[in-house]
């Protein structure tokens, strides 16, 4: 059983916009609990980023 969440975040300073891409993957024998955790993580991260961008907070990833 395995689940994967890959998130790519980029920020264009010229346009002052953040772009988020994500992909998910799972093995054939994934259980519902694993799938739910991936969905929750994705939703919480995207929601958190939207809130921070609305307040003008920027995080730079190195």
- Please report, for the chain, the start and end positions of each structural domain, with discontinuous segments joined by +: 3-55
Q: Of 53, 41, 52, whose CA–CA distance to 7 is shortest?
A: 41
Band of residue 1 on the pLDDT scale cut at 50, 70, 90: low
pLDDT of res. 62: 40
Question: What kind and span of H or E run contains 47?
Answer: helix 32-55
Inform me whether the pLDDT recorded for 61 exceeds 80. no
Cα–Cα separations (whole angstroms), residue 36 to 16, 25, 26, 49, 61: 33, 13, 12, 20, 26
Q: Look up tokens 């919480």; give the residue.
A: 44
The residue among 9, 15, 3 whose CA lies nearest residue 46 is 9
**The model's pTM:** 0.53
- pLDDT for 46 beyond 50: yes
The percent of residues above 70 in pLDDT, for the chain, comes to 81
């Amino acid at each position: 059983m395995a689940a994967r969440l890959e998130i790519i975040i980029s920020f264009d300073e010229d346009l002052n916009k953040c772009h988020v891409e994500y992909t998910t993957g799972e093995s054939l024998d994934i259980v519902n609990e694993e799938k739910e955790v991936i969905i929750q993580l994705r939703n919480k991260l995207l929601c958190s980023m939207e809130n921070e961008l609305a307040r003008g907070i920027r995080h730079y990833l190195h």
